[in-house]
Amino acid sequence: NNKLQVNKVVSHELAHQWFGNLVTPQWWSDLWLNEGFAQFLQYKGINKTEPDWNIYTFFYDFEISRVLELDSLLSSHPIRQQDDNAGHESEMFDYIAYKKGAGIIIMLENFLGDSTFWKGLKQYIVKYQYGNAVQDDLWVYLDKARLEDGKVKIPEVMAVMGGWTKQTGYPLITIGSKNSQLVASQKRFVLKSDAKLSDNSQWYIPIVASITGESMPTEIWLNPNEEVVLIDKDLDKFYIINHDRYGFYRVNYDPGNWDKLLEQFNSDHQVIGTTDRAGIIDDVFELAKADELEIHLALNFTQYLNKEDQYL
């Protein structure tokens, strides 16, 4: 509605006072620092002024789910683009710079933690105010804050974010069972299943796992070219990967967990948070479109919708 649109525009343009005006990218290649942060901060602003709007579910539904679909095409491109030819800059103002940029910043804030993220961001702005910077300058200050706060288990920020900004697309996390353990692996998610794709892209992925009956989600890192054990025990209840949808990736569960999630959707869907419900439905349909899952499973997840009272 009009009130929402006004809030979005005002918050977005105010954010450019810091990202664009006070600190300006050195070249168009880092345009996403302007637009990704402005997009990220516009939702921060709205959530502050209108906390009852549940704006982050809206952000997932209208921004992240759409750019996930776009970024799964072979025609997509990295967030950070090389721009060696003047005259093509207007083409860089697109969904990838704005929406994916905001999506990976939310992921970054979440795995660093609020205090560490904002500490590093403030130090970066003070250092480069009234001047120019590149994305690696930001990673240096965020990593400095990470080390100052003793968060040594988190990988180096430049290594993590370099993969997310310089590679096209995003990962699909696949959960498999090995020796009564649930193990996660990754590959690039591409929507067109008949595409001939030779792509060895790999990412550092912060996985947030929510297990039914446990009070706190567990954060685990899936590193490039590795597998990681998510859960080392048999579960009789469902679990959710990418809890609250902070991560910019899709998840394909083991068959048993898909069945448990479907059962929960049909028996009492409100046990699962609104943003997680939106993300699970989005994932299951996109996975079916990419021939990663059978379409009947995706359609079965629509059976509960006559009881849904939230906009997904």
Closest CA to 71 of 248, 285, 223: 248
Given the structure tokens 């990976």, which residue do they identify? 104
Name residues whose C-beta falls within 8 Å of residue 219's C-beta, 6 or more positions apart in sequence.
111, 206, 207, 208, 209
Separation of alpha carbons 308 and 312, rounded Å: 9
The answer to whether the Cα torsion of 129, 131, 135, 136 is positive or negative is negative
Within its chain, how far is the Cα of 279 from the centroid? Answer: 11
- As annotated, the active-site residues are 13
Half-sphere exposure of 190 (CA within 13 A, CB side): 17
Half-sphere exposure of 261 (CA within 13 A, CB side): 28
Given the structure tokens 């095409």, which residue do they identify? 73
Helix ranges (DSSP H) in the chain: 2-15, 31-49, 55-59, 65-71, 95, 101-112, 114-128, 135-148, 157-166, 255-268, 274-289, 295-300
Separation of alpha carbons 49 and 309, rounded Å: 24
Within its chain, how far is the Cα of 178 from the centroid? Answer: 27
Structure tokens at 257: 């967990």
Separation of alpha carbons 111 and 32, rounded Å: 20
Return the axis-axis angle of helices 114-128 and 135-148, rounded to nearest 10°. Answer: 130
